[in-house]
Amino acid sequence: MCTVVPISLTVGANRIVPTVAIPYPLGNPQKTPAEEKELRRALVRRALRALETEVHGQVVFDK
Amino acid sequence: MSTEKFKVVHYLNQFYGGIGGEDKADYQPEERLGLVGPGQALQAGLGERGEVVATVICGDSYFNENVETALSAILAMIAKHNPDIVVTGPAFNAGRYGVACGAVAKAVAENLKVPVVSGMYLENPGVEMYRKYAYIVETSNSAADMRKAMPKMAKLVIDLAAGLEVSPATHGYLLQGLRKNYFHSESGAKRAVSMLVSKMSGQPFTTEYPMPHFDRVAPNMPIADVRQAKIALVTSGGIVPKGNPDHIESSSASKYGKYDIAGITDLTVETFATAHGGYDPVYANQDADRVLPVDVLFEMAAQGEIGSLHRYFYSTVGNGTAVAKAVTFAKKIAQELLDDGVNAVILTST
């Protein structure tokens, strides 16, 4: 899970989930704490789905 | 220049030394006067300027199983001849031979203070381990390259003996990872812009700082069902217990930390922070879940959405950390995760 996807692609990560921002990949201080946690939960769920998905090379899970 | 010939001592393994193959790999160090085997090609390249005065031969297995004993014997045999230059190999892609050639080079460079020339294939482990101590001419991965490799090595020997400037570009040896300061006639800014202009107009250009080599790993098979899986968290975002108990460096980290989060439901401003010096730490220090999502994974484990959250997370700082260092961290971390029965890892980076 990372914000700068081109770096993850360069270093060879295979399942990549794009995140929010460099200093807060899994949050957003502009949101309310409850909204922020929902955002984080959604991103983690996407990562879990990536772990359950068969890939044959680098895949960016952007939705 | 003096007309006296410079003196070369050559190091070979049991195979090139004419002793025998794998069955003779436990052969102990031995010294011969003059040249042996590939020494002929070396001598041919040196011509009248230098002379291979002695050859030291040692079996690859003996060397690697008895490094200290072998090295001190070999070093003594080499030192006796007061060489001006030492040549080891070439070892091509032979791993144990390459390591021996490199270790001999290091011992010679440190103790006798004379230059060492060797030859290896880029992926020979001896390159990574000893490139700083020898001028390692790049060879192909097969001994068939001897006739091309040896003249290059001999040319390098001649120029080093004469005290001439040598460089990877002019002499075909592998980068040693050593930095040398010098004055360039053009400023860095000007050179960078001309490189960019060349690149944009499709002209060839040579980078002054090649990117490190990143390896590729085939994707692992997916996990069948996250509801049955033990998930671990690993981060390069520097999340650590507040106070950074392991003193992980804010950049170019030399270590990683392993932290117990059993029973922790949320990372708070009082308990966790980031050690990372490469991004604004304000948001991670307020709530480290923004980098390491312990709070939601704890809830998901409690509600059965994942099997469990591994009780330890691993953390380091990715800022400027060398690829080689990261690889050593990863090997240890991955082995521990496997031993702990972890099925999948979520890696977060900043």
> Is A29 near chain B, with CB under 8 Å?
yes
For residue B60, which of B84, B85, B29 has the smallest C-alpha distance?
A: B29
pLDDT (0 to 100) of residue A6: 84
- Structural domain total, chain A: 1
Q: Which residue has the tokens 């003096």?
A: B2
Q: Tell how many helices (H) and how many strands (E) occur in chain A.
A: 2, 2
pLDDT digits 0-9 by tens, B10-60:
999 999 999 999 889 999 999 999 999 999 999 999 999 999 999 999 999
Interface test with A, best of B290, B298, B310, B337 (most A CBs within 10 A): B290
Residues B154 and B264 in one domain: no
Q: What is the pLDDT of residue B194?
A: 96
Please give the distance of CA B184 from its chain centroid, rounded to a whole number.
29
> Is the residue at B198 inside a domain?
no
Residue B77 pLDDT: 98
Question: What is the C-alpha separation between A17 and A50, in angstroms, rounded?
Answer: 8
- Are A27 and B283 in contact (CB < 8 Å)? yes
B219 found inside a domain: no
- Is A1's Cβ below 8 Å from some Cβ in B? yes
Residues of B in contact with A35 (CB under 8 A): none
What pLDDT does residue B180 have?
82
In a domain, B236, yes or no: yes
The span from the CA of A11 to the CA of B289, in Å, is: 25
B231 in any annotated domain? yes
The verdict on B134 and B277 lying in the same domain is no
**Cα B248 to Cα B253: distance, rounded to the nearest angstrom:** 6
Phi/psi of residue B92, nearest 5 degrees = 50, -125
Residues B87 and B22 both lie in one domain: yes
What is the pLDDT at residue B1? 47
pLDDT of residue B215: 77
Residues B232 and B167 grouped into a single domain: no
Length, in residues, of chain A: 63
Considering only CB atoms, A24 lies closest to which of B284, B299, B346, namely: B284
Both tokens assigned to B241? 């217990």
Nearest neighbour of A27 by CB, restricted to B219, B289, B347:
B289
Residue ranges for chain B with pLDDT beneath 70: 1-3
Instruction: Specify the CATH number for the domain of residue B117.
Output: 3.40.50.2000
Domain termination site, one of B171, B194, B211? B171
Contact B220 A54 (CB under 8 A): no
Whether residue B349 and residue A29 make contact (CB cut-off 8 A), yes or no, is no
pLDDT score at B178: 85
As a whole number of angstroms, the distance between CA B227 and CA A45 comes to 12
Burial class (CB in 10 A: 0-12, 13-18, 19+), B246: middle
- Domain for residue B335, yes or no? yes
Would B128 be classed as within a structural domain? yes
Number of domains making up chain B: 2
Return phi, psi of residue A41, to 5°.
-60, -40
pLDDT given at position B211:
74
Same domain? For B89 and B236 the reply is no
- List, for residues A3-29, the tens digit of each pLDDT value: 989 889 888 899 999 999 999 999 999
B162 and B231 co-located in one domain: no
For residue A17, what are the domain limits? Answer: 5-60
Residue B51 belongs to what domain range? 6-171
For residues B151 and B233, membership in a common domain is answered with no
Task: Tell me the residue length of chain B.
Answer: 350
Q: Are residues B13 and B82 in the same domain?
A: yes
Give the chain A residue nearest B347 (alpha carbons).
Answer: A1
Query: Do A14 and B284 count as a contact with CB atoms less than 8 A apart?
Result: no
In a domain, B145, yes or no: yes
The secondary structure of B144-197, three-state, reads HHHHHHHHHHHHHHHHHHCCCCCCHHHHCECCCCCCCCCCCCCCHHHHHHHHHH
Answer yes or no: is pLDDT of A36 > 90.
Answer: yes
**Residue B183: partners with Cβ closer than 8 Å, 6 or more residues away:** none
Contact status, residue B310 vs residue B232, Cβ threshold 8 Å: yes
Task: Give the alpha-carbon dihedral of B179, B180, B184, B190, to 10 degrees.
Answer: 10
Q: Do residues B346 and A47 make contact, with C-beta atoms less than 8 angstroms apart?
A: yes
Residues B152 and B261 in one domain: no
Cβ <8 Å between B219 and A1: no
Contact A29 B283 (CB under 8 A): yes
Per-residue pLDDT tens digits for B183-193: 999 999 999 99
The pLDDT of residue B324 = 81
Residue A2 pLDDT:
94
**B160 and B12 share a domain?**
yes
Of B214, B224, B290, the CB nearest to A26: B290
If asked whether residues B113 and B253 sit together in one domain, one would say no
State the DSSP H helix or E strand holding residue A43, giving kind and residue range, or none if neither: helix A33-51
Interior angle at CA B82, CA B127 and CA B112, nearest 5: 45
B213 within some domain: no
